[in-house]
Structure 1
Amino acid sequence: MVTAAAHQPLAERLRPRTLGEVIGQQHLLGEGMALRLAFESGQPHSCILWGPPGVGKTTIARLMADAFDAQFITISAVLGGVKDIREAVERAEAARDGLHAQRTIVFVDEVHRFNKSQQDAFLPHVESGLFTFIGATTENPSFEVNSALLSRAAVYVLQPLGEDDLRQLVTRAQGIGAVPAIEKAAEDRLIAYADGDARRLLNTLETLAVAAQREKLEQVTDVWLLRVLGERMRRYDKGGEQFYDTISALHKSVRGSDPDASLYWFVRMLDGGADPRYMARRLIRMAAEDIGLADPRALRLALDSAEVYERLGSPEGELALAECVVYLAVAPKSNAVYKAFNEAKAFVKKDGSRPVPMHLRNAPTKLMKDLDYGKGYRYAHDEAGGFAAGETYLPDGMAGTQFYRPVDRGLEIRIGDKLRELKRLNNQKD
């Protein structure tokens, strides 16, 4: 491997110079895979590289420029703007019209941070072929990239680096003498600390190497690593794609009645810095949406756990939320009310404003009574069993409409039995 000067950051010194040196992303770069075929075709195409930090998005873009002997222009969407795009266009035109007619690749890091007008500025030049556009993003392009630009670029999804990939990086760093020997337990902790992020691993190794050299250590031990590194922190994006993926995993685990998986994802979110108040709100939603009347206690417990957290705060109050997570996971499940509510909303949205039947209208004045408001209404408490058999409560023309269909789980078994009995009494009255 060709390495740069020793004074450069370790991540730069170990940056792959050829496609074969790239660690990870073999689902895209392996033989016969999509990106490998793009490299071998000799024809660059616009694309968006979507993945978490430190997985090789910039490296792949640079290698693409090298493979196609193209001018490589980098724009940071965090710091740049339309002025930088204009300059890139000018440089691309100069390269195209120059003596050697060189191609240009414009790489936009954090492209999701550009607004719509800034993203639109690329469109005419991508369409004309002036340059090849490569965007890098940690956010879902479906939400963060304009549809017009998205339709002109292939989307490649990059994955976090696996444990074996990260161990390869450690070996490479040791191979160029950048870090001392590392005890197995310490290496395991470093791999977990990196959490799939190569840049994070290499930056940490560089910090440790300096500290080890200062203390004249021949080997990095786990005890020493803990002292230097401090409490292990997990990478966690509180507002991005990873955040919503994790809360989705929690919700689906609760819905799937798996208390262990539910606790795991709950703790993952807390460990990553999610606001416990947000978690409490989501638990309340789960209780209403996925458990409902199969166990009405679930909603009460969710509300109580939120109140406990407000009184105790972290970390004490988190135990109440964890108790709620486990209860929701093992509770009987029903989305019958959730489905009924959505069906009723959809019906009302498309239906006309049906008049309230006369017998259901209130009659507080003599005029209203004279107009037959409330006439014929039967007071249920005066009927046998507190039920006015045969009475109708829906507008005219909606007889037989049913939104709520209880499931055969939990309390809804008894609710279903009750509704069937009431229906029998109604039919008998008819």
Structure 2
Amino acid sequence: MMPPLAERVRPRALEDVVGQQHLIGPGSILRRSVENQSIGSIIFWGPPGTGKTTLAHIIASQLSVSFFSLSAVNAGVKEVREVIEKARHEYRSILFIDEIHRFNKSQQDALLHAVEKGTITLIGATTENPSFEVNSALLSRCQVYVLKPLTEADLIQLLHKTIKEDEALKKKKIVLKETDALIQISGGDARKLLNLLELVCNTAKQKVEVTDALVMDVAQKKVALYDKSGEQHYDIISAFIKSIRGSDPNAAVYWLARMIEGGEDVKFIARRLVILASEDIGNANPNALLLANATFEAVNKIGHPESRIILSQCAVYLAASPKSNASYMAINEAMSAVQQYGDLPVPLHIRNAPTRLMKQLNYGKGYQYAHSYDNNFSEQEYLPEKLAGTKFYEPGDNPREMELRNYLKKLWKEKYGY
């Protein structure tokens, strides 16, 4: 069976790579390291289809070292240790880990000792910021290289290069009449671009005239329904969030299942739940944020596939919780006031007065320490004079925030209109 087009035309040398010239162009830092045979452990950070895996293969080839490859999606501590054991018997080995951001702490820790001792040279690939997703001890031993999305010019160059060089495509008469649809659907992802080109070229045995209409027709019929970096990614996470916001746990777990089955990063889902817990539930149920944050921590430790259970529990709880966006609206209103009025002066009585001069200038004068008064409250102005009496927080219409409303009304009476 013939390999996919993207695999058939995978570059074998740095000179063949399209894009990333800031890393591999003449005189660039990574190119010099390869030429000098002085490669240390590396993390490639960039969008899908920008060449992370390709560069790892090229580096191993040009250094003439043993090459091991694992995917963090389906590899665990056991697989990591097995590779490390094999590497002990090699003169020098590169271990490539795709989607390294999906490794939990214990899996990353299993790598650390081997990297420190030089048993392996690690090359990790990630689409997520390694500062957040790779533990600090491992990250400190790696050089991070940022790969840029391929430009339109890069993608068009890749199309022409592929049509000219691939043996199967050379047998057909391919005319690139229009390329806008290919470029748009690929989203800067070279692999996706080549896969789509191959699908389009397979529509005819001999002559193929590539037009936007043909590409769109093929894409709608053949391209996968869930793409982690494309439109479906945003549509489905949107459906997931709106289902929880709309208090529908059944729809929430359905869209969660769609993302999990589509290979979505479980930590991305967990992060969205933390945001939602505050934005859409807030003080209507303060425990929602605690559970969402605990979910993120647990998912980070457990990883896929068991984390699906934790995510389901959290999604159902959030969907079944009372809703309020009062805190979200409050900070938006406050930020609008900051943008409108600029840096208004802090009232003198609540300024900090650590020096004698500041005290002489009346910093802190007249401040009433709340705990010295009944109910730990003293009515005084905390906002700048120009904003005195402005209400940013409007408690939501739910039992918990009605308690807050009544409490604030008791304290402030009519000042804020509670």
Q: Same fold (TM over 0.5)?
A: yes
2:62 aligned partner, one-letter code: A
Distance between the aligned counterparts of 2:376 and 2:126, measured in 1? 58
Residue 67 of structure 1: how far off its partner (Å): 1.6
Give the aligned partner of residue 238 of structure 2: 274
Give the aligned partner of residue 88 of structure 2: 93
Distance between the aligned counterparts of 1:55 and 1:146, measured in 2? 24
Residue 3 of structure 2: SS of its match in structure 1?
coil
For structure 1, which runs of at least 5 residues remain unmatched after alignment? 1-5, 97-102, 243-266, 296-330, 345-352, 363-391, 395-401, 416-430
CA deviations 1:67-124 (Å, max 9, x no partner) are: 211100001111111222222122211113xxxxxx1101111111111111111111
2:197 aligned partner, one-letter code: L
Distance between the aligned counterparts of 1:293 and 1:167, measured in 2? 43
Distance between the aligned counterparts of 2:388 and 2:220, measured in 1? 53
Q: Is the 8 A contact 1:291 1:335 kept in 2?
A: no
Q: Is the 8 A contact 1:336 1:405 kept in 2?
A: no
Residue 219 of structure 1: how far off its partner (Å): 1.1
Q: Is the 8 A contact 1:108 1:135 kept in 2?
A: yes
* Aligned counterpart in structure 2 of residue 141 of structure 1, from 121, 130, 135: 130
In structure 2, the CA distance between the partners of 1:50 and 1:235, relative to structure 1 (3 Å rule), is farther
Distance between the aligned counterparts of 2:335 and 2:103, measured in 1? 46
Distance between the aligned counterparts of 1:77 and 1:361, measured in 2? 53
Residue 211 of structure 1: SS of its match in structure 2?
coil
Give the aligned partner of residue 174 of structure 2: 181
Give the aligned partner of residue 156 of structure 2: 167
Residue correspondence of structure 1 range 321-340 to structure 2 within 5 A: 333=340
Give the aligned partner of residue 42 of structure 1: 37
In structure 2, the CA distance between the partners of 1:414 and 1:123, relative to structure 1 (3 Å rule), is closer
Structure with greater Cα Rg: 1
Residue 6 of structure 2: SS of its match in structure 1?
helix
Distance between the aligned counterparts of 1:138 and 1:197, measured in 2? 12
Residue correspondence of structure 1 range 276-291 to structure 2 within 5 A: 277=242, 281=279, 287-291=329-333
Distance between the aligned counterparts of 1:126 and 1:74, measured in 2? 15
Distance between the aligned counterparts of 2:335 and 2:237, measured in 1? 32
* Aligned counterpart in structure 2 of residue 115 of structure 1, from 94, 104, 110: 104
Distance between the aligned counterparts of 2:157 and 2:328, measured in 1? 42
1:25 aligned partner, one-letter code: Q
TM-score (norm 1): 0.58
In structure 2, the CA distance between the partners of 1:190 and 1:393, relative to structure 1 (3 Å rule), is same
Give the aligned partner of residue 223 of structure 1: 213
Residue 234 of structure 1: how far off its partner (Å): 11
In structure 2, the CA distance between the partners of 1:120 and 1:212, relative to structure 1 (3 Å rule), is same
Residue 230 of structure 1: SS of its match in structure 2?
helix
Distance between the aligned counterparts of 1:107 and 1:180, measured in 2? 38
Residue 217 of structure 1: how far off its partner (Å): 4.6
1:105 aligned partner, one-letter code: I
* Aligned counterpart in structure 2 of residue 55 of structure 1, from 44, 50, 57: 50
* Aligned counterpart in structure 2 of residue 10 of structure 1, from 5, 8, 28: 5
Residue correspondence of structure 1 range 77-92 to structure 2 within 5 A: 77-92=72-87
Distance between the aligned counterparts of 2:216 and 2:182, measured in 1? 10
1:355 aligned partner, one-letter code: H
In structure 2, the CA distance between the partners of 1:293 and 1:170, relative to structure 1 (3 Å rule), is closer
CA deviations 1:173-221 (Å, max 9, x no partner) are: 2113526524433x111011100100100111111121233xx653122
Give the aligned partner of residue 194 of structure 2: 202
For structure 2, which runs of at least 5 residues remain unmatched after alignment? 246-274, 281-324, 352-368, 391-418
Does 2:12 align with 1:20? no
Give the aligned partner of residue 395 of structure 2: none
* Aligned counterpart in structure 1 of residue 71 of structure 2, from 73, 76, 79: 76
Give the aligned partner of residue 419 of structure 1: none
In structure 2, the CA distance between the partners of 1:405 and 1:45, relative to structure 1 (3 Å rule), is same
Q: Is the 8 A contact 2:65 2:94 kept in 1?
A: yes
Residue correspondence of structure 1 range 245-394 to structure 2 within 5 A: 274-275=238-239, 277=242, 281=279, 287-292=329-334, 333=340, 354-358=370-374, 393=379
Residue 49 of structure 1: SS of its match in structure 2?
strand
Q: How many residues align?
A: 289
CA deviations 1:308-360 (Å, max 9, x no partner) are: xxxxxxxxxxxxxxxxxxxxxxx9746889x99xx99xxxxxxxx953425x7
Q: Is the 8 A contact 2:200 2:214 kept in 1?
A: no
CA deviations 1:384-421 (Å, max 9, x no partner) are: xxxxxxxx735xxxxxxx642267xxxx5996xxxxxx
Residue 122 of structure 1: SS of its match in structure 2?
helix
In structure 2, the CA distance between the partners of 1:198 and 1:361, relative to structure 1 (3 Å rule), is closer
Q: Is the 8 A contact 2:43 2:145 kept in 1?
A: yes
Give the aligned partner of residue 191 of structure 1: 183
Does 2:141 align with 1:152? yes
Residue 31 of structure 1: how far off its partner (Å): 2.2
Q: Is the 8 A contact 2:174 2:207 kept in 1?
A: no
In structure 2, the CA distance between the partners of 1:63 and 1:289, relative to structure 1 (3 Å rule), is same
Q: Is the 8 A contact 1:14 1:172 kept in 2?
A: no
Residue 19 of structure 1: how far off its partner (Å): 0.6
Residue 195 of structure 2: SS of its match in structure 1?
helix
Give the aligned partner of residue 310 of structure 1: none
Q: Is the 8 A contact 2:45 2:145 kept in 1?
A: yes
In structure 2, the CA distance between the partners of 1:127 and 1:356, relative to structure 1 (3 Å rule), is same
Residue 42 of structure 1: SS of its match in structure 2?
coil
In structure 2, the CA distance between the partners of 1:206 and 1:145, relative to structure 1 (3 Å rule), is same
